[in-house]
């Protein structure tokens, strides 16, 4: 049995002028909808935005409060660094701050050795996590992004998937959005400022990571939120990354809004094929242009059979034109029938 809903979408709350990057993508973090892309599946060197994956594995290790002793692995590092020294001790959490805020290549190898046991094993973990996330065109060979000896390749689309995945972590959001961090190890005191300039120049920016090598060019991953719409942007080999990202955010926050299409708090449905009260356990929000609202359909599907148990009894299908966006399970809550006097009396003597 089908029930077609009348949709009243309430907002929770551009197209790029000029794309200065070789590869670009604008993706909605929550739904994965791509709002804009250019050469998004072109495989390229990614430089230090590699460190988003390094941070993810460090956070998910559950060892952030453990103290790490810096080893000789830092002696081979060059480029951007936090300048820790052999034998110095620092919490893993603070190493992640140094990794994301200052793009410390030395922090990357210390994290890799501590979390993975060795850099080689950590790189294996990076590639395994990439597969789990759905990054089908990504290959990691090191935890930092330097590309003179070993090279990390990915695409704008894959890095947007990684950014969206990382953003689900409160810890990642907190660290990547921090503009200033101070840490003292007993030997030295460090003051780090975030190299992500967008945090200062764009009020809706919420985090991200930049990168650069001569071969990769300028790379940038950022996130921003406005009126309930959470976006991530990735640009690879970009001649003007920070201005480019700000222009893209302004364009697509104007074009799209986050609409709550199905609300679990207001959902109601009655059917002769239900013995109880229908309910859902999740809401569904999706980014839409104003002109797309009329193209959304919400269809509740209840099979033509009665059920007498509290179980999944159907689904809500949400479509944008002919594309199915999601299927949400419908459950039923059975009403408790009041027992008669004799049933309660029988129950009383049974218990006693």
Enzyme catalytic residues: 48, 51, 103
| DSSP label at residue 266 | T
Instruction: Quote the CA–CA distance of 278 and 272 in Å, as a whole number.
Output: 11
**Length of the chain counted residue by residue:** 352
Please state the φ and ψ torsions of residue 124, each to the nearest 5 degrees. -60, -40
Residue 148: alpha-carbon gap to chain centroid: 30
- Please give, one letter per residue, the 3-state secondary structure of the chain: CEEECCCCCEECCCCCCCCCEEEEEEEECCCCCEEEEECCCCCEECHHHHHHHHHHHHHHCCCCCCEEECCHHHHHCCCCCCCCCCCCEEEHHHHHHHHHHCCCHHHHHHHHHHHHCCHHHHHHHHHHHHHHHCCCCCECCCCCCCCCCCCCEECHHHHHHHHHHHHCCHHHHHHHHCCEEEEECCCCEEEEECCCCHHHHCCCEEEEEEEEECCCEEEEEEEEEECCEEEEEEEEEECCHHHHHHHHHHHHHHHEEEEEEECCCCCCCCCCCCCEEEECCCCEEEEEEHHHHHHEEEEEECCCCCCCCCCEEEEEEEEECCEEEEEEEEEEEECCCCCCHHHHHHHHHHHC
């Amino acid at each position: 049995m089908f029930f077609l809903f009348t949709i009243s979408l309430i907002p929770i709350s551009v197209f790029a002028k000029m794309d200065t990057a070789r590869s670009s993508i604008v993706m909605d973090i929550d739904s994965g909808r791509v709002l804009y892309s250019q050469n998004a599946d072109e495989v390229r060197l990614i430089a230090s935005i590699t460190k988003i994956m390094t941070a993810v594995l460090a956070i998910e290790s559950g060892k952030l409060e453990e103290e790490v002793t810096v080893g000789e692995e830092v002696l081979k590092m060059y480029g951007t660094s936090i300048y820790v020294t052999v034998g110095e001790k620092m919490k893993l959490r603070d190493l992640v701050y140094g990794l994301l805020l200052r793009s410390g290549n030395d922090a990357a190898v210390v994290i890799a050795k501590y979390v993975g046991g060795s850099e080689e094993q950590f790189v294996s973990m990076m590639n395994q996590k990439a597969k789990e996330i759905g990054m089908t065109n990504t290959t990691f060979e090191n935890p930092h992004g330097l590309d003179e000896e070993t090279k990390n390749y990915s695409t704008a689309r894959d890095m947007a998937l990684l950014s969206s995945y990382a953003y689900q972590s409160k810890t990642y959001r907190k660290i990547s959005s921090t503009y200033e961090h101070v840490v003292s190890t007993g030997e030295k005191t460090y003051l780090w400022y975030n190299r992500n300039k967008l945090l200062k120049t764009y009020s809706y920016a919420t985090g991200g990571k930049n990168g650069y090598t001569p071969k990769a060019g300028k790379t940038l991953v950022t996130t921003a939120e406005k009126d309930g719409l959470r976006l991530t942007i990735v640009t690879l080999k970009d001649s003007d990354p920070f201005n480019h990202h700000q222009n893209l955010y302004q364009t697509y926050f104007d074009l799209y809004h986050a609409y709550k299409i199905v609300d679990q708090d207001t959902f109601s449905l009655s059917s002769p094929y239900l013995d109880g009260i229908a309910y859902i356990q999740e809401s569904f929000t999706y980014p839409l242009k104003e002109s797309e609202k009329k193209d959304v359909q919400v269809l509740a599907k209840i099979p033509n059979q009665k059920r007498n148990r509290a179980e999944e009894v159907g689904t809500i299908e949400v479509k944008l034109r002919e594309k199915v966006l999601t299927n949400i399970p419908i459950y039923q809550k059975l009403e408790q029938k009041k027992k008669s006097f004799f049933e309660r009396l029988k129950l009383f003597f049974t218990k006693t």
